[in-house]
């Protein structure tokens, strides 16, 4: 059965709309799952991934979680927290 005239354009348009709707649904679901994590949980997962990648690169089986460097943003926030505690 061959599609004649403008019917095939309708089919292509419908497929496009269905694709956009499916992409939106998947994005919304992923966003809901992402928001369920607290910032501390996200940070700990990222640190764990970093430690695993270091262990894989070095060929060791252990996870060197103590070797995860603290970034400048974290250092500044720690210093600011100390000053805020002193003011109270």
Per-residue pLDDT reduced to its tens digit, 22-42: 998 888 888 877 777 777 888
Give the Cα separation of 6 and 20 in Å (integer).
Answer: 22
Contacts of 52 (CB under 8 A, 6+ apart): 63
Give the Cα separation of 78 and 16 in Å (integer).
Answer: 50
- H or E segment and range at residue 33: helix 7-35
pTM: 0.34
Over residues 57-75, the pLDDT tens digits come to: 777 666 556 655 677 888 7
């Amino acid at each position: 059965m061959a599609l004649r005239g403008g019917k095939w354009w309708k089919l292509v348009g419908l497929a496009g709309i269905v694709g956009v709707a499916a992409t939106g649904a998947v994005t919304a679901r992923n966003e809901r799952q992402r928001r369920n994590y607290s910032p501390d949980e996200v940070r700990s997962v990222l640190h764990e991934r970093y430690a695993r990648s270091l262990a894989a690169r070095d060929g060791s089986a252990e996870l060197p979680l103590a070797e995860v460097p603290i970034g400048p943003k974290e250092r500044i926030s720690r210093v600011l927290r100390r000053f805020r505690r002193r003011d109270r």
